[in-house]
Copies of this chain bind each other. A is one copy, B any other.
Amino acid sequence: MTMDMRGIAKFVYEAGQLKLLPRAGWLLAGIRDPESVAAHSFRVGVLAYIIADLEDVDSDRAATLGLFHDLPETRIGDVPSVGRPYVATTAAQVVAADQVAELPDRLAAHISALIDEHEGAKTAAGTPESRCSRDADKLDCLLQAMEYQAQGNQLMQPWIDSMVAAVTTETGKRLAAAAQEISPGEWWADFAANFGARMQRTPTPPPH
């Protein structure tokens, strides 16, 4: 069992690699020091949860699929779409099998199943949750493109267009439309506009 725990410790250190791995597609658009794959995976999980909830399927499951979907990138890196004609990567499921090799069997099977399920989204047998997770992957990319555009980047339109085209669920399509209509800064602009009213419920200064 100690051996198991060392295997688990190695697995979670490996997962931490995604905190450092940059999302390579943004480099093509000239973004210096872009978001990490871990940061991307975070919002994919959040988006998958929301889409699943609105599509009335298992939202905890969809979030978990989104969270884990890029785990094989610790070994295959993040290959941008335009690199695909030149780069062949072992299927995510096969990489995952190696990644979980030192985990306890049941846990290994469960994590492998997460990757399998997400990868199945594009097939007829794809679960509804996997389609939410896949749409979430595209939508985070769309949102991030809008965010980089708000920073001044003038090369984002191809990302926005191709992500919109890749979304497949009804909820995903409507969210893609809404995300293009508003500014990434609207949430705090609204918030700041109501600042006065909100301040009336501000906490009293702490006692000292």
Q: Please list the residues of chain A having a beta carbon within 8 angstroms of any beta carbon in chain B.
A: 1-2, 5-6, 8-22, 24, 27-33, 35-36, 38-39, 41-43, 45-47, 49-50, 53-54, 58-61, 63-64, 67-68, 71-72, 75-77, 79-91, 94-95, 104, 106-107, 110-111, 139, 143-144, 146-147, 150-155, 158, 174-175, 177-179, 181-192, 195, 198-199, 201-208
A67 to B195, CA, bound (A): 28
A151 to chain B, nearest CB (A): 5
In the complex, which residues of chain B have a beta carbon less than 8 angstroms from the beta carbon of A187?
A: 10-11, 13-14
A84 to B158, CA, bound (A): 30
Closest residue to A185 on the B side, CB-wise? B155
Say whether chain A's binding surface is mostly helix, strand, loop, or mixed.
helix
Q: Can you list 22 pairs linking A and B with CB atoms under 8 Å apart?
A: A9-B175, A9-B178, A9-B182, A12-B139, A18-B42, A20-B31, A21-B27, A32-B33, A49-B64, A60-B60, A75-B86, A82-B188, A84-B199, A87-B87, A87-B203, A88-B89, A88-B203, A90-B206, A152-B152, A201-B208, A203-B207, A204-B207
Contact B184 A30 (CB under 8 A): yes
Assuming the A-B contacts A42-B42, A204-B88, are A151 and B150 also in contact, with contact meaning beta carbons closer than 8 angstroms in the complex?
no
